[in-house]
């Protein structure tokens, strides 16, 4: 058997009791040297100091014991007063001598002895070379006064009944309490607020003053009125409260002197304490205090971290966050390093927000401030970047550090982060939800060029609204636009849904069409149970499953909808049906809360192959016959699926392409971009050139050895240009180019992109602004920081207004920093209609609308948007965690296999036979599998005459031969330009001066010459602003060697207004030039068996103007 003693090594001598008693013999024979550390702490004094002072927990116990002794001594004094009989003495003797029983004397002596020894020991341990500093301290002197006389009575029994002011121990108890609170903070590593400490000191000071005055008056009046403790308490309260009834008053002069002294002390000490308390209260109001741990554990709260809090950002967050019913009980804790400004302070004092919003001044990089905000208990943390900073990269760096600090402190807290630059996005990849501003900004600008007003569509979808805006307006377009703006994206499980449960096992397009027909909801996407990716319009081949999560657009979610069956409508509809097959779906006409009425379409049940089919009538058919539409099948049939012209263009028109198309198609290849500008960009399949273009050829205005073109017109582009005016060519432009070069866009519709880094007039004319489809103006980063916040957009607004005046029909798309500045886009000073819209916006804002700016014509038409409006996308993600993913899919920032994409088509005269939006929905679902989600409508605008509406060519003014034309023209011109001349006196004055100089230089001997000069003078006098601008641009184009032929067409500006109808009701009638937003299924999801027919006018995209073609 193995000897266990030989296997187990002996314990070190420090841990064996035998070696502690006998010493370690083994260490003597060992060559090793034992080193003892911290030898200075092994002395007796250092060990006492460690126990009494340095160690927080033991020091706290000592101070608590000292505090208890002082309270005990005060309690014994009160007992002595109650047991004493003041009537036994005469004269002043009751003041000097008291009656103290032996047991009470013994207790007081014991307490005094312990207190004195403790005080001497602490003084010895705290001694640092100056003994007088220790002796002359007020606590030490009070301890000597209260304890030494009791020690003397031990050796001199005659003095046992001597009066000793033991009640002064209350001040020592106050001092011990302050030290005890400090040690308590050190021991538990937790700091209470300075306000708590100051309030505690104030209360203890007041109690000590009152207690001292009570005991002093009672003792001195032993020789006078012989007051009891209660009488003395009554007198002190009445005196300190400045009431002074006078029924109890001091009689002898010592008590009167004490009252005077105590009042003077109170008048000096208490104001100082109150001043410090008021100062701390003001500082607390600035810093915000703390969010208590109890509230954090019993209530739900979110934390908003910002570098600077502006009133617009705060109100956008609060309005959007509290727009959801289930968030009404949440609290918002704002953590900001700057002091709260006056506007924010006034808003947070409103009762609606004062009970919900807590402002804390602090930094997210400090654990102490994160602890104040109870970040570890928060439901979410929103970290927003400061977009008004001059250096946006530095702002992103601050955001990244805040995100890291929050993740380190509270790893389980969900993070919602806003970043500005896309190249910084990979640093915060761990965040639950990230919104990159430049990604979304450039993607929306790009889609605005090919799908008009995409920015307005996305903005309305991510804002919470009930669709009540402008419902009292007399204008019909405002009612429709306001009601449809309330549509949002919601989700529900199919098996739990009333909308979609009956479509289990049916195709996606079948479910989408019938749900819209019956309930007015637009099913746009699904998410399968075993896949986290959202699929927008997966196509007719997707079969709905009970576990699918359905995403739909509606005024309100299904849980808040009321359903009513219309039996009469149902019976009437059933009597009209000519086919009653077993698979026919009865139409219940169930109406959702949005109030739309389901359309009574033809029988939409599945028909057999031998049954009648709905198809477009042939050319030889009866002219009076109404065209029919094929039914939407429950299950996809490859023979019935048609693909639109764009889908067939995936092989670049294999049918019979022309020579130009062959040459154009040979330049491009489909693939992924070889280089990514930043980490985290989503790879997109797009059109690429076969060979990389040399860098020298990218300069449009300068020739090189490969080509000699110096302007855009010399290149002979077949499609219209898209001009991007930006300050720098940043990485965000990648998200602008990729959607315009996506694989699903036909090659013949690819627009050339011109990047204009500076926009003087000469460069604008060289880059082809006169024949550009769109001009995109990106807000300049260098001007985003201004002394006045709202002036950050000043340069961009004025530049765009200049472009609008020079090229009135140019489609200008602008991005601004502040949504409030959108009212200055295409500003018309005397436009009555714009003034009426301004009043409407004010009324909607007074009603509490979150979309008061939506009725501004530039925003409604998609000409301008503010990226700050997309902040609500991040806020909505707290309730709808899918909103960022859906928005990225709609904008083309992410591409998921099997997921559709956003495109548009234009309603032509050949398509008006469809008549209603419901029939359009059926036509799309039954033919191409597209899902319409909205309509972009343009109407003629009836406005009063303003300076921007006047467009008269200069050539007509130069023609003076026809007298009749002159007379009629002059009269018309007087009426149309009177406001112009009055609005621009400077231009008029310069024209007159020029005409006078011209008339003085020419000799007057010829009558014909004088008449001609006089005519020119009158013409110059009557010239309008439009003519001067047109002449300026034409002269500049001639100087640059450019032909001004296309500029006159640009000035044919028509007064129109455009707006969006998101998910309109099925009975909405289609109008000419309506642009329908479509979510088209992924062309790569399946390959059609047969080539599509080009005879269908509905899918026809042949045209000269790309804006009239089916987009994307």
422-440: per-residue pLDDT in tens?
Answer: 888 889 999 999 999 888 9
Q: What pLDDT was estimated at residue 623? A: 40
Confidence of residue 351 (pLDDT cuts 50, 70, 90): confident
Residues 642-663: what's their mean pLDDT?
44
The answer to whether 554 touches 1063, Cβ cutoff 8 Å, is yes
Task: List % helix, strand, coil for the chain (3-state, nearest 5).
Answer: 50, 10, 40
Asked whether residue 549 carries a pLDDT value surpassing 90, the answer given is: yes
Q: What pLDDT was estimated at residue 828? A: 72
Q: What pLDDT was estimated at residue 652? A: 43
Q: What pLDDT was estimated at residue 508? A: 93
The answer to whether 250 touches 227, Cβ cutoff 8 Å, is no
Backbone angles phi and psi of 1073, in degrees to 5: 70, 10
> Which of 931 and 341 is assigned the larger pLDDT?
931
Least confident of 116-130, 323-337, 348-362, 533-547: 116-130
Give the C-alpha separation, 384 to 307, whole Å. Answer: 8
Asked whether residue 369 carries a pLDDT value surpassing 80, the answer given is: yes
Sheet of 1056-1062, strands arranged across = 901-906, 1075-1080, 931-940, 1056-1062
Q: What pLDDT was estimated at residue 989? A: 53
Residues 613-622: what's their mean pLDDT?
38
Buried/exposed code over 194-206 (b: 16+ C-beta within 10 A; e: otherwise): eeebbeebbebbe
Least confident of 464-468, 605-609, 1083-1087: 605-609
pLDDT digits (tens, 9 = 90+) for 37-53: 555 556 777 778 777 77
Asked whether residue 972 carries a pLDDT value surpassing 50, the answer given is: no
Sheet of 535-536, strands arranged across = 488-493, 549-554, 522-527, 535-536
Q: What pLDDT was estimated at residue 1048? A: 62
Backbone angles phi and psi of 988, in degrees to 5: -65, -40
Q: What pLDDT was estimated at residue 34? A: 62
Q: Which of 202, 373, 226, 382 is nearest to 307 (CA)?
A: 382
> Which of 334 and 783 is assigned the larger pLDDT?
334
pLDDT digits (tens, 9 = 90+) for 873-925: 898 899 999 999 999 999 988 888 889 999 999 999 998 899 999 999 999 99
Q: What pLDDT was estimated at residue 942? A: 56
Confidence of residue 951 (pLDDT cuts 50, 70, 90): very low
Least confident of 481-490, 1001-1010, 1036-1045: 1001-1010
Q: What pLDDT was estimated at residue 947? A: 38
DSSP assignment, residue 413? S
Dig out the tokens for 851 from the structure. Answer: 């979309």
Residues 698-725: what's their mean pLDDT?
79
Q: Name the average pLDDT for the chain.
A: 75
Least confident of 28-42, 54-68, 562-576: 562-576
Q: What pLDDT was estimated at residue 933? A: 94
- At residue 923, the 3 state secondary structure works out as helix
Give the C-alpha separation, 125 to 120, whole Å. Answer: 9
> Which of 5 and 377 is assigned the larger pLDDT?
377
Asked whether residue 1104 carries a pLDDT value surpassing 60, the answer given is: no
Q: What pLDDT was estimated at residue 341? A: 83
Asked whether residue 726 carries a pLDDT value surpassing 50, the answer given is: yes
Asked whether residue 672 carries a pLDDT value surpassing 90, the answer given is: no
Percent of the chain residues topping a pLDDT of 70: 73
Backbone angles phi and psi of 818, in degrees to 5: -110, 130
| Cβ-based neighbour number of residue 791 at 10 Å | 15
Asked whether residue 582 carries a pLDDT value surpassing 60, the answer given is: no
Backbone angles phi and psi of 551, in degrees to 5: -115, 125
Asked whether residue 23 carries a pLDDT value surpassing 70, the answer given is: no
> How buried is 698 (Cβ within 10 angstroms: 0-12 exposed, 13-18 middle, 19+ buried)?
exposed
Asked whether residue 315 carries a pLDDT value surpassing 90, the answer given is: no
Residues 68-94: what's their mean pLDDT?
82
Q: What pLDDT was estimated at residue 932? A: 95
Residues 599-620: what's their mean pLDDT?
34
Q: What pLDDT was estimated at residue 504? A: 92
Asked whether residue 1026 carries a pLDDT value surpassing 80, the answer given is: no
> Which of 464 and 993 is assigned the larger pLDDT?
464
Residues 281-298: what's their mean pLDDT?
71
Beta-bridge partner residues of 220: none
Residues 1020-1043: what's their mean pLDDT?
72
Q: Which residues are CB-contacts of 993 (< 8 A; sequence separation ≥ 6)? A: none
Three-state SS for 632-694 is CCCCCCCCCCCCCHHHHHHHCCCCCCCHHHHHHHCCEEEECCCCCCCCCCCCCCEEEECCCCC
Dig out the tokens for 295 from the structure. Answer: 């509230």
C-alpha of 1085 from chain center: 36
Q: What pLDDT was estimated at residue 1002? A: 44
Give the C-alpha separation, 164 to 109, whole Å. Answer: 11
The answer to whether 37 touches 76, Cβ cutoff 8 Å, is no
Give the C-alpha separation, 435 to 914, whole Å. Answer: 40
Least confident of 286-295, 675-684, 1048-1057: 1048-1057
Handedness of CA 602, 603, 609, 612 (dihedral sign): negative
- At residue 959, the 3 state secondary structure works out as coil
Q: What pLDDT was estimated at residue 1050? A: 55
Least confident of 27-41, 760-774, 1024-1038, 1041-1055: 27-41
| Cβ-based neighbour number of residue 336 at 10 Å | 21
- For residues 483, 486, 491, 494, the Cα torsion angle rounded to the nearest 10 degrees is -10
């Amino acid at each position: 058997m193995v000897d266990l003693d030989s296997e187990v090594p002996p314990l070190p001598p420090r841990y064996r009791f035998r070696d502690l008693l006998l010493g370690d013999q083994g260490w003597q024979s060992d060559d090793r040297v034992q080193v003892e550390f911290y030898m200075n702490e092994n002395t007796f004094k250092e060990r006492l100091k460690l126990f009494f002072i340095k160690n927080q927990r033991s020091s706290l116990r000592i101070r608590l014991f000292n505090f208890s002794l002082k309270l005990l001594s005060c309690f014994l004094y009160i007992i002595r007063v109650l047991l004493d009989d003041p009537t036994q003495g005469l004269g002043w003797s009751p003041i000097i001598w008291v009656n103290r029983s032996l047991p009470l004397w013994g207790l007081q002596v014991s307490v005094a002895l312990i207190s004195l020894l403790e005080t001497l020991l602490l003084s010895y341990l705290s001694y640092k070379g100056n003994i007088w500093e220790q002796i002359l301290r007020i606590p030490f002197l009070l301890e000597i006064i209260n304890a030494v006389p009791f020690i003397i009575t031990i050796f001199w029994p005659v003095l046992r009944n001597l009066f000793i002011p033991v009640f002064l121990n209350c001040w020592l108890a106050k001092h011990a309490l302050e030290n005890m609170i400090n040690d308590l903070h050190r021991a538990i590593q937790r700091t209470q607020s300075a306000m708590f400490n100051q309030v505690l000191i104030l209360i203890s000071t007041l109690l000590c003053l009152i207690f001292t005055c009570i005991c002093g008056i009672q003792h001195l009046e032993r020789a006078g009125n012989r007051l009891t403790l209660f009488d003395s308490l009554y007198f002190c309260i009445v005196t300190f409260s400045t009431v002074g009834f006078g029924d109890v008053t001091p009689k002898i002069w010592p008590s009167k002197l004490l009252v005077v002294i105590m009042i003077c002390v109170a008048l000096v000490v208490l104001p100082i304490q109150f001043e410090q308390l008021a100062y701390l209260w003001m500082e607390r109001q600035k810093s915000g205090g703390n969010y208590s741990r109890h509230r954090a554990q019993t209530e739900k709260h979110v934390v908003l971290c910002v570098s600077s809090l502006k009133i617009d950002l705060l109100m956008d967050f609060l309005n959007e966050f509290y727009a959801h019913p289930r968030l009404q009980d949440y609290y918002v804790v704002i953590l900001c390093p700057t002091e709260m400004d006056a506007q924010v302070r006034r808003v947070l004092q409103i009762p609606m927000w004062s009970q919900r919003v807590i402002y804390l001044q602090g930094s997210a990089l400090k654990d102490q401030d994160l602890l104040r905000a109870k970040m570890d208990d928060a439901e979410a943390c929103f970290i927003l970047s400061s977009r008004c900073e001059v250096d946006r990269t530095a702002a992103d760096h601050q955001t990244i550090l805040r995100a890291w600090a929050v993740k380190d402190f509270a790893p389980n807290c969900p993070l919602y982060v806003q970043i500005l630059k896309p190249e910084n996005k990979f640093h915060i990849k761990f965040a639950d939800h990230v919104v990159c501003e430049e990604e979304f900004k450039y993607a929306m600008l790009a889609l605005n060029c090919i799908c008009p007003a995409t920015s307005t569509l996305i903005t309305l979808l991510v804002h919470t609204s009930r669709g009540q805006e402008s419902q009292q307006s007399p204008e019909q377009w405002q009612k429709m636009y306001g009601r449809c703006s309330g549509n949002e994206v919601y989700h529900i499980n199919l098996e739990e849904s009333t909308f979609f449960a009956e479509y289990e096992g049916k195709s996606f397009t079948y479910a989408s069409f019938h749900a819209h027909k019956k309930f007015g909801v637009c099913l746009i996407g699904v998410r399968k149970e075993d896949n986290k990716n959202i699929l927008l319009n997966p196509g007719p081949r997707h079969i709905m499953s009970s576990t699918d999560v359905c995403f739909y657009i509606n005024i309100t979610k299904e849980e808040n909808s009321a359903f009513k069956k219309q039996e009469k409508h149902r019976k009437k509809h059933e009597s009209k049906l000519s086919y009653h097959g077993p698979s026919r779906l009865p139409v219940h006409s169930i109406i959702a809360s949005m109030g739309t009425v389901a359309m009574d379409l033809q029988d939409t049940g599945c028909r057999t192959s031998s049954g009648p089919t709905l198809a477009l009538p042939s050319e030889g058919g009866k002219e009076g016959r109404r065209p029919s539409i094929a039914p939407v099948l429950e299950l996809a049939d490859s023979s019935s699926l048609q693909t639109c012209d764009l889908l067939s263009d995936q092989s670049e028109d294999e049918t019979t392409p022309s020579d130009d198309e062959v040459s154009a198609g040979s330049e491009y290849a489909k693939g992924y971009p070889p280089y990514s500008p930043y980490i985290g960009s989503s790879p997109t399949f797009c059109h690429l050139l076969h060979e990389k273009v040399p860098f020298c050829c990218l300069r449009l205005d300068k020739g090189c050895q490969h080509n000699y073109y110096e302007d855009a017109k010399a290149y002979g582009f077949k499609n219209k240009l898209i001009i991007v005016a930006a300050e720098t060519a940043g990485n965000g432009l990648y998200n602008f180019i990729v959607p315009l070069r996506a694989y699903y866009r036909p090659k013949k519709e690819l627009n050339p992109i011109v990047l204009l880094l500076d926009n003087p007039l000469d460069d604008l004319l060289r880059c082809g602004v006169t024949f550009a489809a769109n001009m995109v103006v990106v807000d300049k980063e260098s001007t985003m920081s201004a002394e006045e916040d709202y002036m950050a957009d000043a340069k961009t607004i004025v530049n765009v207004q200049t472009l609008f005046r020079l090229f009135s029909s140019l489609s200008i798309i602008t991005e601004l920093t502040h949504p409030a500045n959108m009212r200055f886009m295409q500003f018309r000073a005397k436009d009555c209609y714009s003034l009426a819209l301004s009043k409407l916006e004010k009324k909607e804002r007074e009603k509490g609308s979150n979309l008061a700016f939506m009725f501004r014509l530039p925003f409604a038409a998609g000409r301008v948007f503010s990226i700050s409006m997309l902040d609500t996308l991040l806020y909505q993600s707290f309730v709808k965690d899918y909103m960022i993913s859906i928005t990225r899919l709609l904008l083309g920032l992410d591409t998921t296999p099997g997921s559709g994409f956003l495109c548009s088509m234009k309603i032509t005269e050949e398509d008006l036979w469809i008549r209603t939006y419901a029939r359009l929905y059926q036509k799309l679902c039954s033919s191409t599998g597209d899902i319409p989600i909205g309509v972009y409508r343009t109407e003629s605008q009836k406005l009063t005459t303003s300076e921007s509406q006047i467009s008269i060519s200069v050539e007509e003014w130069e023609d003076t031969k026809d007298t009749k034309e002159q007379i009629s023209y002059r009269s018309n011109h007087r009426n149309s330009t009177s406001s112009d001349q009055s609005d621009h006196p400077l231009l008029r004055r310069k024209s007159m001066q020029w005409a006078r100089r011209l008339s003085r230089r020419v000799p007057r001997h010829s009558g014909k010459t004088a008449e001609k000069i006089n005519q020119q003078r009158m013409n110059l006098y009557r010239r309008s602003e439009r003519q001067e601008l047109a002449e300026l641009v034409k002269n500049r184009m001639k100087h640059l060697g450019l032909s001004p032929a296309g500029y006159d067409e640009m000035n044919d500006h028509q007064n129109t207004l455009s707006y969006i109808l998101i998910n309109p009701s099925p009975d909405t009638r289609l109008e000419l030039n309506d642009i329908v937003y479509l979510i088209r299924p992924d062309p790569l999801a399946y390959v059609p068996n047969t080539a599509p027919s080009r005879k269908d006018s509905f899918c026809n995209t042949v045209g000269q103007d790309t804006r009239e073609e089916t987009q994307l």
